[in-house]
Chains A and B, each alone.
Chain A
Amino acid sequence: MPTGSRYILACYFDTSDISLVLLSLDSNNVEFFNFPYKYSSAAFSNQTNEAGFNKDVIETFLKNKKIKTSDIEVITCGFIEVPPVDIETKQSLKLVSIIKEIEEFYPFVVNEFSVLTKDSILSYEMCSEKSQDIDGGGSNELANLSIYPQIIPVDILTSTELDRSIAAKVESLELGYKSKDALTFSGSRFSRTILYEYLDWILAFDLVRKPGIYEIFLDRRNAIPLFNIIKKYKPEILLNPKPYLEVLGTLINSQGETECLLTSDVGTSQFFDVKKDGFYVVPMLHEAPSSLSIKSRSLGNLNISVSGGKVGLIINTGNSSLFNNVKVFNDCVKQLSLCTPRY
């Protein structure tokens, strides 16, 4: 390591935002920063290029932290391509190349136009004028998104339409996750300011289509991509992303009618029968593990231990996207909005 380097700054450039993590090599402390904007030629080409813009973002962060550029080693990672940065970087990686090496979780990286998993890139559409080409078939809203990729829709209709198009990308695709896996959801779709938190949850649950039992985590800081690029750069540095993930709870994907008996550790029990194409949420704290007996055609008869989270225990008995059935979608919103402090 060069003399004087006291920090590693890892930068992850997604299609709508930039996530940074500053790792102190002295204390091993990490500090996250999200800049919810990205370079857009339509907005900034009269001032700077992409490399200059990215450099300004990094330098602003360092200036705020009162850290000299000479004290850090910068490593960068891009969603598909690594964007240019007008700063000397020690390593530049594509997320595609490092996501395959993640073992502890099955990662989904989601942004407004694409889904990247450990074994698939689903309909990558770069949020740019070239691919959107402004003259594509989309709406005014989509055209504005191609000019200003950072925009977060503030109406539920546009948000839902965008999510529906993301969810449609995983329709009937065979992804490599297995039942009982811990699934994480990173990317700019989840890392930016939340307007309707329950829509984030619905999208995450909807992207999991295979029958099974899963632990669901939201990675709002992009800790998984960031920590893995550090791991790739300095394999001796071991960082655990789990404390930085938001635990949503346990998702039971069971295609068809499902009977459940939930027994808490203090002995109280609750029975519920979720009909086919149903969605049911049982609020459960993460710190209160319970045992669950399940009877379902697709999962069989199971006795498992489940832990809750911000949402709790989620049972989805449909075999198609939640966005395809207005009644089920409304039911999701109704139940999940009760789990959101704002609603």
Chain B
Amino acid sequence: MYAPILKKLVEKTDTYIERCLPIPGTVLVKEGDLVRPFDRLGECTYSQKRTSYPKNFKPSRFKGDKQFYYSGSNMGKIGKTDIAVPFNGNLFRKDDGTFVFNAAEDRYILLAGVWGTVHKIAENRAILIKTQTRDLLFAASTQINVSGELVVFPNPVEILEKYYLESFSKNNEGKIVYVGHFADIEVVKRANEMGAVAVLAGSAHKETFNYAKSKGLGFGLISGFGKLDTPEPIYKLLSIIAYRYVFLDGQKNTLRIPHSADDFVVKEEIKVEKAEKVKKGGKKTKSGKNEKEKVSSINPTLELPNSSIVKEIAVGMDVVCLQPPNFGKIGVVDSLSESSIFVKFNTEKASVEIKLPNFFIIE
């Protein structure tokens, strides 16, 4: 019996990531420089916020083409409602007679976000960095490319998700938030209102995915649609790299997790976990020999151009199940039959029959 190999995590050693200033400015690095995530690549000065007002907005004290207002002061009225100035800035009249309020220009600093080498600089604005990433493949994602600091919720029960969103991480603006096994639509709506650039989860209903798509929100599902768990090894990886700057490439269904060339934290964590499980004792095989217990895990796989994507299923292999009620879970093949496999999941003692082709080998 043969099945394809799914590699949720792939180690890429030649990733190119473009970091870009919103407008041309001063680039502080040169080609060939080594950079780390908090190194400054460049800076520029520009208005970073903008608010548009409807036709019935009547400004007060507006003279000429633009007018400066201080934050909190009265800017005018919409109908009978006073409008307060949201931030220091200038009000402009557009050609169609409506008004737009731009925040006062402020300094913007572009950080590297990755460990790597500056490969190319273009137009005092874009810096291409050659780096290494660990790429997590999503089952589905909206076609949005964003980057931001990763906030990881501790796989909370649904009732706590909103609580975590509002209390545990108060400032979600510009962040990529992993909300747990299942992304409820209310949580995704709230994350969008709070300015998160992307929401990640094990699973979500289709309507939630559609909502995220309609709002232009980055949205990545690790296992698929429905109420499915995030495989434990992936959740552990996300926990380890929480607060790191990550890149969601929605067009490639991928979350790019940058790491330094000598970063073995994740691999080491997995090794320790495996060793601990093995220490707990082995299991007896049919032949009576004592065998080290195989622990389900996902190791980041180094890209090997000549390795086949199809393999013969064997006892002891890790598989990801695509059959309810274990859809999305990773287990270990316990035995094989003609057209199905029997899989042991961490949470269950007995093995579960999974029909071919409702599974993938996972590496």
Interface residues of A (CB under 8 A from B): 17, 35-37, 41-48, 52-53, 56-57, 59-60, 64, 129, 134-135, 138-141, 143-144, 147-148, 150-152, 154-155, 192-193, 195
Contacts and interface: CB of A to CB of B under 8 A. Distances in A.
Contact of B308 (A59, A139, A150): A59
29 contacts: A17-B357, A35-B2, A36-B357, A37-B3, A42-B140, A43-B137, A45-B137, A48-B309, A56-B308, A56-B309, A56-B310, A57-B310, A134-B225, A135-B209, A135-B210, A140-B224, A140-B225, A143-B206, A143-B225, A144-B322, A147-B139, A148-B322, A151-B322, A151-B323, A151-B358, A152-B357, A154-B355, A155-B324, A193-B339
B228 to A, nearest CB: 9
A44 B140 contact: no
Given A47-B10, A56-B309, A134-B206, A37 B225 contact: no
Interface string B336-363: 0001100000000000000111101000
B357 A144 contact: no
Contacts of B324: 154-155
Nearest to B356: A193
Interface string B290-321: 00000000000001000011111000000000
B234 to A, nearest CB: 14
A154 B140 contact: no
B72 interface: no
B135 interface: yes
A140 to B, nearest CB: 4
Contacts of B205: 140
B7 interface: yes
Given A17-B357, A43-B137, A140-B226, 15 more contacts: A36-B357, A42-B137, A42-B139, A43-B4, A43-B6, A53-B309, A57-B310, A135-B210, A141-B225, A143-B140, A143-B224, A151-B322, A152-B358, A154-B324, A193-B357
A35 B1 CA distance: 9
Given A192-B357, A195-B355, A46 B137 contact: yes
Contacts of A135: 206, 209-210, 213
Among B209, B210, B225, B360, max chain A CB count under 10 A is at B225
A52 to B, nearest CB: 7
Q: Interface residues of B: mostly helix, strand, loop or mixed? A: mixed
Contacts of A17: 357
B357 A150 contact: yes
B323 A154 contact: yes
B102 interface: no
A310 to B, nearest CB: 18
A147 B140 contact: yes
A214 to B, nearest CB: 29
Contacts of B230: none
Contacts of B210: 135
Q: Name the residue in B4, B252, B253, B312 with the highest tally of chain A Cβ atoms < 10 Å from its Cβ.
A: B4
A52 B309 contact: yes
Interface centre among A64, A129, A144, A147 (most CB of B within 10 A): A144
B309 to A, nearest CB: 5
Q: Which of A43, A56, A59 has the most CB of B within 10 A?
A: A43
Contacts of A155: 324
B340 to A, nearest CB: 8
A47 B323 contact: no
Contacts of A193: 339-340, 355-357
Q: 5 closest A-B pairs (Cβ-Cβ)?
A: A36-B357, A140-B225, A140-B226, A143-B225, A150-B357
Interface in B157-201: none
